[in-house]
Amino acid sequence: MGFFDGKRGLIFGIANEYSIAYRITQQLHEQGAEMAFTHLPDKDPARPKNANKVKKLVDSMKTKFLMPCDVTKDADLDAVFAKAKEEFGTIDFVLHSIAFAPPADLVGPVYACSRDGFKLAMEISAYSMIALCGRSKDLMPSGGSILCLTYLGGEKVIPGYNLMGLCKSALESATEYCASELGPQGIRVNALSAGPVKTVSSQGVGEFDQMLKLYEAFSPMRRNVVPDEVGKSGMFLLSDMASAITGETLHVDCGYHVMGGPPHDAVGKLAPGAGA
């Protein structure tokens, strides 16, 4: 018996095998979940690169359907949830793993980001979560669980995270408000704040390799989190084992977020060439 036997859910945001969403999905599958997935729409339907990439990853799972979804389009979101209602009737969980900022606005200082870049980043990275919560409500009449992915840069300044930090801050606030509003219906809404994991998105963050060294030197456990640990934590938050947890941002980062300064044994570890 698995923790998700008989449970059904929607997964938004798997890009490739390095995606945190994929790691969580693997854990859900092992626990018996039946899932449906979305992918970024392909520019050329005759060459479905995005669809094929996700299909290859989830084909061996209990995949009910796979369909394109542009979260900036209400019609796409409506189509996914209509399909979910048709195939599942009701759902038990939703995973939101969606974030984007135009590279030109992400790499520079926050004060220099463009108006249009700011709006697009917030729409995709934060509003999309609100949109999923609103649509999930009708398909979770007996309660359920919604999870999004965030990062410490939404709480504190992380050099190089820049505009995405503002987006994650908005996402975490939306998590708390939606948790309050959906709680009476038995729907839990949480965020998982993982330490740095190498994904396609992380490569857009400035000085990412230096960030990995910081976590190894500063975290109480003196190491970085590994992807499977994040996957298991995400599965936990979506499961009934977390039935009394909502509005929470769970840090899965080997304790890095509790540190206000470097531990004594970190001195010298981050000097040029140290630990390289």
Per-residue pLDDT reduced to its tens digit, 244-256? 999 999 999 999 9
Q: Which two tokens stand for residue 202?
A: 């992380």
Cα(63)–Cα(88) distance, rounded to whole angstroms? Answer: 12
**Is 111 tagged catalytic?**
no
Counting Cβ atoms within 10 Å, is residue 79 exposed (0-12), middle (13-18) or buried (19+)? middle
The pLDDT score that the predictor gives to residue 269 is 63
Distance of alpha carbon 215 from its chain centroid, rounded?
Answer: 20
Which pLDDT band, with edges at 50, 70 and 90, does 276 fall under? very low
Backbone angles phi, psi at 193, to 5 degrees: -105, 100
The pLDDT score that the predictor gives to residue 275 is 43
Per-residue pLDDT reduced to its tens digit, 42-77? 988 888 999 999 999 999 998 999 999 999 999 999
What ranges make up the beta strands (E) of the chain? Answer: 8-12, 34-39, 63-68, 93-96, 144-150, 187-194, 249-252
Cα(38)–Cα(115) distance, rounded to whole angstroms? Answer: 29
The helix-helix angle for 20-30 and 227-238 (nearest 10°) equals 60
**Is 18 tagged catalytic?**
no
Cα(247)–Cα(173) distance, rounded to whole angstroms? Answer: 9
Per-residue pLDDT reduced to its tens digit, 217-238? 999 999 999 999 999 999 999 9
What ranges make up the beta strands (E) of 91-143? Answer: 93-96
Query: Where does 8-266 sit in CATH, by number?
Result: 3.40.50.720
Q: Are 216 and 254 within 8 A, CB to CB?
A: no
Q: Are 145 and 202 within 8 A, CB to CB?
A: no
Q: Of 131, 128, 36, 133, which Cα lies nearest the Cα of 89?
A: 36
Distance of alpha carbon 136 from its chain centroid, rounded?
Answer: 17
Residue tagged active-site, from 18, 111, 127, 151: 151
Residue tagged active-site, from 161, 177, 215, 256: 161
- Report DSSP state, residue 44: -
Cα(4)–Cα(43) distance, rounded to whole angstroms? Answer: 35
